[in-house]
């Protein structure tokens, strides 16, 4: 049980979090540099796309050599985009590059104690609710759900890839109920076990299955309307994200929704101290700071979507920014 002091601290921090979410603060550095990042994306795309098209057939056939060459090519493209130095605001781009760091999170360590893992994920779920993050994810997904419902009398089928403990999948089922059938998948069953336990505790009918998000051939005949991936993209290298985008777009009947937080100096400055106080654990603080430095920008997700192998020609790509601080990628895949 928490002491009166920690209860008071949590209550004050939660009020602060709700206030910050309502203020809709924008990171000046992020918005100042968005135009430069888009210029970099266009230049890198023109340079890289011809080679990607040559490798794409081998990637789709799961040829190891083609996949390795593709991943290396996309990684180089992302590095070039991040190294872009415009004539104006070049010093800001250099400052922005210092923010990025690809370091492992403690939750990625299979030897990380389960009781600490449960505590960190519980705090993360609470923070997602406080900041309206899960609500933002639902809002981004609902247009595809409404489209699917209009075309069929059956439940809309949603598959959440690389879902970890299934935080978003549970919230989506909780919000939309019988209108949706939700399946959460991950390659690590230890995370899925946490999700199964949470679903049982909350009385939610959500499926949890082991699934490699980079190989979705077995989902092609399961009639999933929407494929999502939330708060996980930063765990994957650029080439893997691009391949996952292509796989999801080939399988989804209506659309794909990928969303993750963006790198942000302001978020790092605010959420770092907040995580230390609210999480009251080194693991929560460490993984909050580490993940914020690994995130992709909206323009980087756009590049990866443009380079995704096997993307249907009719697919319509949309990227954007969703408050409180997330970049999203939506792909409309319906051909009718």
Reported as a single tens digit per residue, the pLDDT across 92-128 is 888 888 899 999 999 989 899 988 998 999 999 988 9
Q: What percent of the chain has pLDDT over 90?
A: 71
pLDDT bracket for residue 15 (50, 70, 90): confident
Q: How confident is the model at residue 212 (pLDDT cuts 50, 70, 90)?
A: very high
Whole-angstrom distance, CA of residue 80 vs CA of residue 74: 10
> What is the average per-residue pLDDT within 260-278?
90
Q: Could you tell me the CA-to-CA distances from 208 to 140, 165, 244 in Å, in that order?
A: 22, 9, 19
**DSSP conformation class of 226:** E
Kindly report, residue by residue over 51-87, the tens digit of the pLDDT.
Answer: 999 999 999 999 999 999 999 999 999 999 999 988 8
For residue 1, pLDDT over 70 is answered with: no
Q: pTM score, two decimals?
A: 0.94
φ, ψ of residue 41 to 5 degrees: the values are -60, -45
User: Residue 296, SS3?
Assistant: coil
pLDDT interval class at 151 (50, 70, 90): confident
Give the dihedral sign, CA 335/322/141/242.
Answer: positive
SS3 173: helix
Rounded CA-CA distance 242/309 in Å is: 7
Distance CA 194, CA 206 (A): 12
Confidence of residue 326 (pLDDT cuts 50, 70, 90): very high
Which has the closest alpha carbon to 47: 303, 269, 293, 321? 303
**Domain 4-332, CATH homologous superfamily name and number:** Vaccinia Virus protein VP39 (3.40.50.150)
């Amino acid at each position: 049980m928490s002491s009166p002091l920690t209860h008071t601290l949590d209550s004050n921090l939660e009020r602060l979090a709700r206030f910050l979410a309502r203020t809709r603060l924008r990171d000046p550095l992020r918005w100042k540099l968005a135009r430069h990042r888009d210029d970099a994306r266009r230049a890198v795309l023109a340079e890289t796309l011809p080679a990607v098209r040559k490798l794409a057939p081998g990637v789709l056939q799961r040829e190891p050599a083609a996949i390795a060459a593709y991943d290396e090519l996309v990684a180089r493209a992302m590095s070039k985009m991040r190294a872009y130095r415009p004539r104006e605001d070049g010093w800001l781009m250099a400052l922005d590059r210092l923010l990025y760091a690809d370091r492992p999170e403690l939750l990625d360590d299979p030897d990380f104690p389960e009781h600490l893992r449960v505590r960190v994920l519980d705090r993360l779920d609470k923070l997602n609710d406080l900041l309206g993050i899960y609500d933002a994810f639902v809002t981004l997904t609902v247009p595809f759900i409404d489209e699917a419902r209009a075309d069929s009398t059956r439940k809309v089928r949603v598959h959440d890839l690389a879902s970890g403990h299934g935080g978003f999948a549970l919230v989506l089922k909780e919000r939309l109920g019988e209108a949706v059938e939700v399946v959460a998948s991950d390659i690590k069953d230890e995370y899925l076990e946490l999700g199964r336990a949470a679903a049982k505790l909350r009385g939610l009918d959500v499926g949890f299955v082991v699934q490699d998000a980079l190989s979705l051939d077995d989902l092609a005949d399961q009639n999933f309307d929407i494929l999502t991936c939330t708060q996980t993209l930063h765990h994957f290298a650029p080439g893997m994200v691009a391949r996952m985008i292509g796989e999801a777009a080939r399988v989804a009947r209506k659309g794909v929704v990928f969303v993750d937080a963006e790198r942000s100096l302001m978020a790092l400055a605010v959420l770092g101290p907040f995580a230390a106080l609210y999480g009251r654990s080194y693991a929560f603080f460490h993984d909050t700071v580490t993940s914020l430095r690994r995130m992709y920008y909206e323009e980087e997700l756009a590049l990866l979507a443009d380079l995704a192998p096997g993307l249907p020609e009719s697919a319509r790509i949309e990227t954007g920014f969703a408050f409180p601080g997330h970049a999203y990628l939506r792909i409309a895949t319906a051909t009718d």
